[in-house]
Structure 1
Amino acid sequence: MECIVLMGIQASGKSSFYKECYIDTHLRLNMDMLKTRYRENLLLTAFLEAKQPFVVDNTNPLPEDRIKYIEAAKKYHFTVVGFFFEPDYEASIRRNAQRTGKAFVREIGIQSVLKKLVRPSYSEGFDELHTVVSMNGTFTVKSMD
């Protein structure tokens, strides 16, 4: 059983990474789709109780944003893996410009998350940590060991 926590600014490639690497094996927990914390908590509980592998596909910029997923997953004996998307502000702005409708994020929103983004550490409770660099649709993943 695995809980994967994605971390990074908007338009950094998190959702594309999920679709490329985990769509066939893990369900997705994402505030863009669920809209409310109430719905997110219901689904998180369902995943944990069903022992369903899942990916938390949110920005998760701060340790306090990530801790609820980590603690809940640990309580249910899940392995917790983190993927930190190295921020590339200019590339994210370019990718975001290609988005339409509700998927488009105002630049100030991306700047806000970038300002508070904290690199994760094992002290938060992760069992594995990786960095991800997204370039031209290709992902390079490296262990943070």
Structure 2
Amino acid sequence: MEIVLFIGLQGSGKSSFYRERFAATHVHVSKDLWPNARKREARQRRLIAEALAQGRSVVVDNTHPLLAERAPLIAIGREKGARVVGYAFESDLETCLARNAGRVGRARVPDKALYITRRKLQWPSYAEGFDVLFHVRVDPRGGFHVREWREGDESERLRSPDA
């Protein structure tokens, strides 16, 4: 049983990655699924805790740019005895903006949301309590390249230009 946290900009491929790699095995929890709900954070935590209590693995598919946003979710995982896994999605802002522009309806977020997330983005570290971390890059020809995260992966190609 595990809790998987996705970390990356809107449009970086997180939901596609979920569908490709986890849809058959993990409960999908995302605040995007209830855009108008009040107390979305509390609802998310409740759904995660319920799934883990039932012995079901969970993917939390949100941007999670800040350590402070990830910490309570990691704590829930620890409390429920789950393995804590993180996937950091390489985030080329221009590509994410282009993918976002192709979205329709509520799936499309204002461009300024991507700029805000990019500015806030703090890349993960094992020190946060992850059991394992992965670096994900979208392959322009389709699919994903995944490798284990190495401390220092928050290098120039991953860091925000505003950092």
SS of corresponding position for 1:131: strand
TM-score by length of 1: 0.96
Does residue 70 (structure 1) correspond to residue 74 (structure 2)? The answer is yes
The CA RMSD over aligned residues, in Å, is 1.0
Q: Distance in 2 between matches of 1:45 and 1:13?
A: 25
TM-score by length of 2: 0.85
Percent identity over paired residues: 38
Hey, which bits of structure 1, 4+ residues long, moved more than 3 A?
A: none
Structure 2 unaligned segments of length 5 or more: list them.
151-163
Q: Which 10-residue stretch deviates more, 49-58 or 131-140? A: 131-140
Q: Which residue identity lines up with residue 8 of structure 1 in the other structure? A: G
Decide whether the 8 Å contact of 2:88 with 2:134 is kept in 1. Answer: yes
Shift of 1:21: 0.2
Q: Normalized per residue, which structure has more strand?
A: 1
Per-residue CA deviation, residues 67-109 of structure 1 (Å, 9 max, x unaligned), is 1111110111100110000111111111111101100011100
Shift of 1:39: 2.0
SS of corresponding position for 1:83: strand
Q: Normalized per residue, which structure has more helix?
A: 1
Which of residues 129, 138, 142 is equivalent to 2:143?
138
Shift of 1:142: 1.2
SS of corresponding position for 1:82: strand
Q: Which residue identity lines up with residue 44 of structure 2 in the other structure? A: E
SS of corresponding position for 2:138: strand
Structure 1 unaligned segments of length 5 or more: list them.
none
Q: Distance in 2 between matches of 1:37 and 1:71?
A: 14
Q: Which 10-residue stretch deviates more, 27-36 or 17-26? A: 27-36
Number of residue pairs aligned between Structure 1 and Structure 2: 145
1:27 is aligned to 27
Q: Distance in 2 between matches of 1:104 and 1:72?
A: 30
Q: Distance in 2 between matches of 1:114 and 1:135?
A: 21
- 1:1-145 mapped onto 2 (5 Å cutoff): 1-34=1-34, 35=37, 36-136=40-140, 137-145=142-150
Shift of 1:38: 2.9
Q: Distance in 2 between matches of 1:92 and 1:135?
A: 13
